[in-house]
Structure 1
Amino acid sequence: MRKRASIAAVAALLLAGCTSDPAGPAPTTSSPPVSTPSSGPTQPPTPAEQGESLPPRTDTPSLANLMRADFDGRGLRVLRTETRTDAYTRQQVTYRSNGTLVSGVLLRPHGRGPFPAVVLNHGYIGPSAYVTGQGMAREQDWLARAGFVVLHTDYRGHAAGDPAGDRERELRLAYTRDSINAVLALEKLAYVDADKTAMVGRSMGGGVTLNALVAAPGLVDAAVVYASVSSRFLDNLQHFTEPNRPGAVDDLYAEYGTPRQAPAFYRGLSSRTYFDRITEPVLIHHGTADATCPPRWSRTTQRLLERAGVDSTLVEYPGEDHAFYARWQDSIVRTVRFLRRHLDV
């Protein structure tokens, strides 16, 4: 299976918000989802090869800087075992993300392995209220029972990880670094098949996942995003941050300029600017009644992925909202089938 060619990293910026995920199971419904498949992947030139200008300041937070950096995910250490079920063991862990300590939970299926593995990127939950492993409990359980090792990263500044600075908390591309390093740390485990890894992200974590795909092509073999934030940074800034934290927007504009003054800066924070770097198949789930992250965002993202030659599919769930209650089980069955196909398990 295809695996990473070169990996390179960044500093801090995905502004998003999106509410946390519910933890309970969801019943199925009978109405079929609407599916929009795309064409297969190609290997188009990167934006740099096309001559696209990059931010002039080397210290400017950007996806371009993420692409230039190195990752060294390592040191995954078990803190304690939370529970043992009939199918897996769930443990609290920490790992290193370029020196920063990040916490999370690890679910290991019973058996010797090696197992395929998935990193989960959770949606927005206020760091002061967050507890380790929070946000994707349903996905954790289902994927572990399906035979995947699951590492749910808390991101820096959450739970037992090292503190995050104000800018890191507000401009969350540092979370992308933590997610990429989570894959690398996971792959070092003896019972993980390092050639069969994936990412699944929800809401804000969907944006983190898209950022990781453009920053580190070949890092994983497939990716799934649920009810994602926009792949355009300014959409998230205007939709979530301006009405809720206007002071943070003022600070951003004061340091880097307004969108009118510095359009290249804001394009450089948008994963869609670099979709032609993505080498992995992408499955997108979105409910048509999502009032938190509008479904038009995922429609636009999938259309641009397709235009960039990415093997991508958007599945819309009529009447489903951001939380994915009624149709969640339908979506996770589709997710597991997608991952098994592309990870060859």
Structure 2
Amino acid sequence: MRRPAGAAALLLVLPLGACAGDDPDPAGDPPPTVTASSPSPSSGPTQPPTPTEQTKTLPPATDTPSLPNLMRADFDGRGLRVLRTEARTADYTRQQVTYRSNGTLVSGVLLRPHGRGPFPAVVLNHGYIEPSIYATGQGMAREQDWLARAGFVVLHTDYRGHAAGDPAGDLERELRLAYARDSINAVLALERLRYVDDDRTAMVGRSMGGGVTLNALVAAPGLVDAAVIYASVSSRFLDNLDHFTRPNRPEAVAALYDEFGTPRAEPAFYRGLSSRTYFDRITEPVLVLHGAVDHTCPPRWSRATHRLLERAGVDSTLVTYPGEDHAFYARWQDSIVRTVRFLRRHLGS
């Protein structure tokens, strides 16, 4: 089992519907474009990267919320408790659960394949859904079902401030760090289960959850064995602030500037909230999936993220789907088959 190191943290609010998208029927479309820094997901296994000295050395701590402070947190995900069983299928049992994220109660859904295990496990980080209307387990229903049927234990974290979890503070909802803390602790809580193989874990994040996943990877390198991000937000905090928050909630941007300064006055603060600043810490292979006509999260964001991951020495593969929008309708089945193949290759399942 891998163990990270990494302090308090927080999250950007995206507009309603910006990152949801569920359960359409797949259909045909042009073939995807694959750009890889190493063999594509269908080729043979690669050796995990060896952490560099730069990876092992923490950047300076800050006196404001930042990824460097999250890197120094002591994560202690534990106390995964079943609240009730929602359903039993021919392949798995689905249950509502809670777990502890450094003392904060977080809810979610757990899907356990039938059998004794130990099974590989995946934490799902969902996209933005307005917390006041969010229902536990919402946002990645297709991925939950497919991955559980493929033999993975799946924990879909709701994040704090959602469903049955403890409330989230305003600042936690404005920045992008507390949800990463909850995701990291979700992995640790999963690894404590007797039927989970703690040496075979991964993260899959969608839209805002893609940003959560990237933050978790830089905060806790070595925590998981692989990661997949779908239709992700930008790895640059200010892109998301300008694209989502400024047009919809300008008062939140003004409050952020009042408390921490403007990007011109305090550029280091905003760099410290951007996962791309610390991509050289990532030790896991990353699969980046994006629709070529995504109008919610522009494809250029994933192209830039992939390019910067490559530059930092990360094993990164970018797959762009022609004609596909943010919700991944026509080519979703192709994308999840590719995801499962990628995870099995890197988790050895």
Cα drift, residue 173 of structure 1: 1.2
Q: Which residue of 2 aligns with 1:337?
A: 341
CA change 1:5–1:178 in 2 (3 A) is closer
Q: Report Cα offsets for 1:120-178 as digits up to 9, x if no partner.
A: 00000000010000000000000000000000000000000001111112223100000
8 Å CA contact 2:2, 2:199 repeated in 1: no
8 Å CA contact 1:320, 1:326 repeated in 2: yes
Find out whether 1:222 has 2:232 as its counterpart. Answer: no
| Superposition TM-score, scaled by structure 1 size | 0.95
Aligned pairs (5 A) from 1:61-210: 61-210=65-214
Q: Report Cα offsets for 1:13-63 as digits up to 9, x if no partner.
A: 44545624333243131521100001484534437859x6x4641xx1100
Q: Which runs of 5+ in 2 are unaligned?
A: 39-45
Distance 1:204 1:322 in 2: 12
Q: Report Cα offsets for 1:66-99 as digits up to 9, x if no partner.
A: 0011100000000000000111000000000000
Counterpart residue type for residue 234 of structure 2: S
- RMSD across aligned positions (CA): 1.6
Distance 1:144 1:272 in 2: 31
Cα drift, residue 201 of structure 1: 0.2
1:10 to 8, 11, 20: 8
Q: Which residue of 2 aligns with 1:251?
A: 255
SS in 2 for 1:6: coil
Distance 1:99 1:324 in 2: 36
Counterpart residue type for residue 7 of structure 1: A
CA change 1:47–1:221 in 2 (3 A) is closer
8 Å CA contact 1:73, 1:184 repeated in 2: yes
Distance 2:218 2:164 in 1: 28
Q: Which residue of 1 aligns with 2:286?
A: 282
* Deviates most, 29-38 or 238-247: 29-38
Q: Which residue of 2 aligns with 1:323?
A: 327
| Superposition TM-score, scaled by structure 2 size | 0.94
8 Å CA contact 1:10, 1:67 repeated in 2: no
Counterpart residue type for residue 115 of structure 1: F
Between the two proteins, the alignment pairs up a number of residues equal to 339
Q: Which residue of 1 aligns with 2:240?
A: 236
Distance 2:36 2:55 in 1: 25
SS in 2 for 1:200: strand
Distance 1:121 1:33 in 2: 24
Q: Which residue of 2 aligns with 1:27?
A: 26
